[in-house]
Amino acid sequence: MPKLSSATLLLCVSMPALADEVRVAVAANFLDAITTLSEQFERQSGHTVLISSGSTGKLYAQIKNGAPFDVFLAADEARPALLEHEAAIVPGSRFTYALGTLVLWSPDRGLIDAEQSVLNNGDFRFLAIANPATAPYGRAAQEVLTGMGLWERFSKKMVRGENIGQTYQYVYSRNADLGFVAKSQVFSQGQFADGSWWEVPADRYAPIVQQAVQLRDTPAATALLDYLRSPAGLAVIQAYGYGTDAAQ
């Protein structure tokens, strides 16, 4: 079969690099934001953005196994740091693009009050969280509930979404009464969605530091990451309810 393999090799070498396409793996919580960002970026740069969303844990495993992404926008700093440690990224490309905020949200207007009585009374059937083992927002939710002394008590009432997107879906479809979701999912253009919510104080959980890494050194990927750090990009990220790292 040497003929075939050399022909294949030739084909691979002679394929033009799609320099104007950038493939982004994004943690589910940032999907809405990156969609808006991409639209603006595409208009401005002429590049095309292809978005794949999932849980940070799964995306990491896929990247480790050769998934063809140029940029990884994670929901934590652990997995990007791990990729950097494994020399799987463009050196020096890891940075914090957003700071996540955890919100307890319900589509019911009267359910969540300022004292979180609904939590303290356990007055609900199901509480949705993201899977703490794989999703950073789930880990944060676990920290908050543990801090309130409720983690053990709710073990039978908690439903775990595979990622924060599915967690939101559980609450939105009212299969779960309330859930810990990302602020970005229930907040846009400076407005909370209908329902009731409690923005969890930042001191109740370790900061959700969301980091980006560049996996392949293409001009389009570099341009996209630069756009995320530009004033225009930062404004969109903040409009979705994220903090941005002032230290950069």
- Judged by beta carbon, residue 67 or residue 239, the one nearer other proteins is 67
Up-side HSE of residue 2: CA atoms within 13 Å toward CB? 0
Asked whether residue 222 is marked as a ligand-binding residue, the answer is: no
Task: Please list every residue from 182 through 241 that binds other proteins, using CB under 8 A.
Answer: none
Task: Please list every residue from 58 through 87 that binds other proteins, using CB under 8 A.
Answer: 58, 61
Neighbours of 191 (CB within 10 A): 10
Q: For other proteins, which residue of 9, 18, 133, 235 counts as binding (CB under 8 A)?
A: 133
Contact stretch for other proteins (CB under 8 A) within 12-20, 122-130, 198-206, 229-237? 122-130
Q: Crossing angle of helices 31-45/231-239, nearest 10°?
A: 150
Instruction: For residues 29 and 142, give the distance between their C-alpha atoms in angstroms, rounded to a whole number.
Output: 17
Tell whether residue 169 is a contact of other proteins (CB under 8 A): yes
Shortest distance in whole angstroms from residue 64 CB to other proteins: 9
Tell whether residue 57 is a contact of other proteins (CB under 8 A): yes
Report residue 39 as tokens: 């639209």
Asked whether residue 56 is marked as a ligand-binding residue, the answer is: yes
Tell whether residue 174 is a contact of other proteins (CB under 8 A): yes
Residues ≥6 apart with Cβ < 8 Å to 15: none
Report residue 166 as tokens: 């599915």
Instruction: For residues 208 and 75, give the distance between their C-alpha atoms in angstroms, rounded to a whole number.
Output: 7
Instruction: For residues 98 and 125, give the distance between their C-alpha atoms in angstroms, rounded to a whole number.
Output: 33
Tell whether residue 170 is a contact of other proteins (CB under 8 A): yes
Cβ atoms of 117 and 123 closer than 8 Å = yes
- Judged by beta carbon, residue 116 or residue 166, the one nearer other proteins is 166
Q: For other proteins, which residue of 8, 35, 40, 175 counts as binding (CB under 8 A)?
A: 175
Contact stretch for other proteins (CB under 8 A) within 37-45, 141-149, 151-159, 219-227? 151-159
Report residue 96 as tokens: 């914090």
Binding residues for other proteins, rule: CB under 8 A, are 55, 57-58, 61, 125-126, 128, 131, 133-134, 156, 158-162, 169-170, 173-176
